[in-house]
Every structure is written in C-alpha cells, then in structure tokens.
Amino acid sequence: MPYTINKTAAVPTLEGNWDAPVWQNAETLCIANVRPESSDHRPNVQARFLHDGTTICAIYRVEDQYVRAAHTGFQAPVCRDSCVEFFFQPHAGPGYFNFEFNCGGTFLCSYIRDCTRIGDDGFADCQMLGQDAADAVSVYHSLPETVDPEITEPTIWTLQFAIPISLLEIYAGPLGDVTGKEWTANFYKCGDETSHPHWISWVPVDELNFHLPRCFQPIAFGS
C-alpha cells in the first residue's frame, strides 16, 4: 500500500503543532527501519504529509535524545546533525530530489540524476538547488537554530516545512497539479555525528546509503 498524502483546502499554518486540527486529516507514517550499523539509540519518528495540489506540506515529530544541530547555513551537511529527510522521485526517469533538515531548521536540497558515488560526498550527476529553494521553502523548527553542545536528555522536537511544486519544476520539468498522481519516495532520520549515530528509514534500505531510488516506494496524492 502506498502512503497517501491527503489533500487539504489550505496550507497548514507554519507553527509546528503536531496536534493541530489540520494535521488530523493526514495519515501518520512511522520511520522505524533501523540499519544495523546504528547505535543503540532508537528515536521514535513520525511524519504527516498534506498537499493542496501545488504545495507539499509536512510535519515531523521526533522523540529523541542526543540531539545536535551544529551546522547552519543553506546547503550545510545537516545529515551529520539530528536530521529528518524526504527523498522523492516525481517521474519514472532517474532524477530524484533529496530534502534534508536538521532539528534547527537548516536544510540541504538537491536534484540527483545519477547517484553513483564520486569521492566521499559527491555524485555523478547532482544539481544543488539554488537560492530560489532557500527563498521558496518554508520551515518551522521547535528547537533553536544551533544545538551545540548536544542535548543528552530525552527531547521531543518538531520540524515542519512546505515545498512548492513550482520550485521542483525548475529542475524536474512540468509537474502540474499533483492531485491524483503517484510518485515514489522514502523518508529518513539520521544523526551521523551525534554521540549515538543512527540511520532509520520508512522503507528498509539494503545498504548504509539513503541515496537508493531502488528502495523508494509509492506515495499517492489524494483527491
């Protein structure tokens, strides 16, 4: 069964309220498949997504510990911090987007056509999204922008964002109203350089690597 992103009449207010009435109309997905390379830390990670045809809206709720946000500035390597991620492929072709947000709201995003690894951090064909993405994507974060040193006690944090389809079209070509369409995706939580590193996904990945479109599963945009 695909995850269904239900349709909403209006984009949710950017306030990070998991219990807001608008989010009760969203299906809740759990990000719970832990890679064996992870530490013994097991955060409880849930996400809810909605759309209005022209914008993808999401909120993540994380029951966490060992929380860190040391990287700031657009396109910083936020996967090294306490981080939630949304990777998705609008077309059947090779290109997919990755949006990665640390708990302080800093985010990285790119459009990758060939995820063959080049060096430690590069890809064979990867286009980092430009300032248009920094301006177009709205983000709410319940924690401060910088969390350093790490919070070692149990902490609940939320991260909310809205991505306009018009931004994606700059890189992927025409997408139109997404109502009724089906894409593929995976959802993640990681903390590469926290004291208790972990790599967790919605759909299991068959190696320690989130950039695996072969492991994406369908997501459906409801009517």
Q: In this structure, is residue 132 part of a structural domain? A: yes
Which CATH number does the domain housing residue 101 bear?
2.60.40.1190
The total of structural domains in the chain comes to 1
Residue 116's CB: how many other CB atoms inside 10 A? 11
**pLDDT tens-digit series, residues 148-197:** 999 999 999 999 999 999 999 999 999 999 999 999 999 999 999 999 99
**pLDDT tens-digit series, residues 15-65:** 999 999 999 999 999 999 999 999 999 999 999 999 999 999 999 999 999
Domain residues for the domain of 109 are 3-7+28-48+60-89+97-221
Q: In this structure, is residue 14 part of a structural domain? A: no
Beta carbons of 31 and 186 less than 8 angstroms apart: no
Question: Helix (H, G, I), strand (E, B), or coil: what is residue 146?
Answer: coil
Q: In this structure, is residue 202 part of a structural domain? A: yes
Distance CA 54, CA 165 (A): 5
**pLDDT tens-digit series, residues 67-90:** 999 999 999 999 999 999 999 999
Q: In this structure, is residue 20 part of a structural domain? A: no
Nearest 5°: the CA angle 49, 57, 204 is: 45
Q: In this structure, is residue 12 part of a structural domain? A: no
Q: In this structure, is residue 165 part of a structural domain? A: yes
